[in-house]
Chain A
Amino acid sequence: MKCRKCKAVAAVALPSHNTAFCPDCYPVFVRSQVERAIHRHKMIAPGDRVLVAVSGGKDSLALTLLLHELGHDVHGLHVDLDIPNSSTDARAACEGFFAKLGLPLTVIELRREGLAIPLVKSRIKRPICSVCGKLKRYYFNKFALENDYPVLATGHNLDDEVSRLFANTIRWDHAYLSDQGPLLPAESGFARKIKPMYRLTEFEIANFSFLRGIDHVIAGCPYSGKASFPIYKGLWSGLEERMPGAKVQFYENFLREGRPVFAAWSDQQGQLPTPCTECGYPTSAERCGVCRIKAMVADDEK
């Protein structure tokens, strides 16, 4: 198999694009996909400071590198979950990577907030993955707003987005379907959120990370065994194998044809979030989800 651009021996074959690239030409392809996503959805305005949520995995670290190389003003934010045999490596990967690039990184420790994930897991009956996701989103958004970052970028890739869209579609969840996409504008106490890697699959990002020598965490979270997204990802990988391009078609067609319909429905409902009575975070209830989690953990300690 030869590189489409220079005809050297290919290192990465991409059936969904019906093409292949060598180690030198492949990063150029990845970069063009991210540039196109940023440009098409007007994700970053000139001069915007970009806060990148980093986990230590390949996606968020690759995103950091790409945004940095594209000339954006990048600041990293990592939430240390305090999970044994996992969080120390994740944090070290982030700190090492940012130090190597000479970029600023802030670490928020959930232990200091009284919300170390093992403690929360032991006190809450809900699936820990959804609680953990809620906590991370809360602190990412809070930090972005409190420190005047106009943009919060995450490393969500095409597989993440397709899995989420599939999960929302299975449930016909109008509310989630109305605002899923690579760009969520700033509103009602939420920072603008962008997903510049949404056009790239996990496989494509893994290849990029390898070729660019990104030292990322490879092991999965020890608590994610019961998560449903890997099941959806497996289903879609099987479909993509037989129908190359199915993922991007499903997602892009949703953005074009489906989302506007659900967004219009959502606008008719007209329910805007209000500030949490305890912390001011936007919520549809009186008290936000994170304050409720804190209260549950504290009650059990008493």
Chain B
Amino acid sequence: MIYIRLEPEGRTMHFPRLGTVLQLLRKLGLGNNAALIIRDGELLTPDRRLHAGDEVVVRTVTSRG
């Protein structure tokens, strides 16, 4: 299972399987440059692979006011 935390909403979700960061972004309906993808304090580019047990933060970057 791959665990996802969406920021700034604070919502959590999980996926049984995901290949890459790009697949995660597509599942969430996000463009490549719409969010920071953070795993263990490290930024991931869209080509990086995700693994079972990963805890990933998806932090959208569009500021609102």
Contact = CB atoms under 8 A, between A and B. Distances in A.
Given A210-B36, A218-B59, A237 B64 contact: no
Contacts of A114: none
Contacts of B45: 1, 10-13, 20
B8 A218 contact: yes
Contact of B7 (A201, A218, A240): A218
B1 interface: no
A11 B42 contact: yes
B15 to A, nearest CB: 22
B62 A159 contact: yes
A206 B31 contact: no
Contacts of B34: 203, 237
B61 A11 contact: no
Contacts of A221: 64-65
A233 B43 contact: no
Given A1-B45, A10-B45, A206 B61 contact: yes
A123 to B, nearest CB: 19
A15 B25 CA distance: 15
Interface size class of B (residues with CB under 8 A): 20 to 34
Contacts of B47: 1, 13
Contacts of A12: 43, 45
B65 A129 contact: yes
Contacts of B48: 1
Contacts of A233: 62
A240 B38 contact: no
Main secondary structure on chain B at its contact with chain A?
Answer: loop
A104 B31 CA distance: 38
Contact of B32 (A13, A219, A223): A13
A237 B65 contact: no
Interface string B16-44: 00000000000000011110101000111
A206 B57 CA distance: 14
A67 B42 CA distance: 26
Contacts of A210: 36, 38, 43
Contact of B33 (A15, A20, A59): A15
Interface string A41-85: 000000000000000011100000000000000000000000000
A96 interface: no
Nearest to B63: A57
A211 interface: yes
B63 A59 contact: yes
Contact of A220 (B42, B43, B46, B63): B63
Nearest to B47: A1
Interface string A206-240: 11001100000011110110010010011001101
B33 A237 contact: yes
B49 to A, nearest CB: 12
Interface of A: 1, 10-15, 20, 23, 57-59, 129, 132, 159, 201-203, 206-207, 210-211, 218-221, 223-224, 227, 230, 233-234, 237-238, 240-241
Interface of B: 7-8, 31-34, 36, 38, 42-48, 59, 61-65
5 contacts: A1-B46, A11-B45, A210-B38, A218-B59, A221-B64
The 5 closest A-B pairs by CB, nearest first: A220-B64, A221-B65, A224-B65, A11-B43, A206-B61
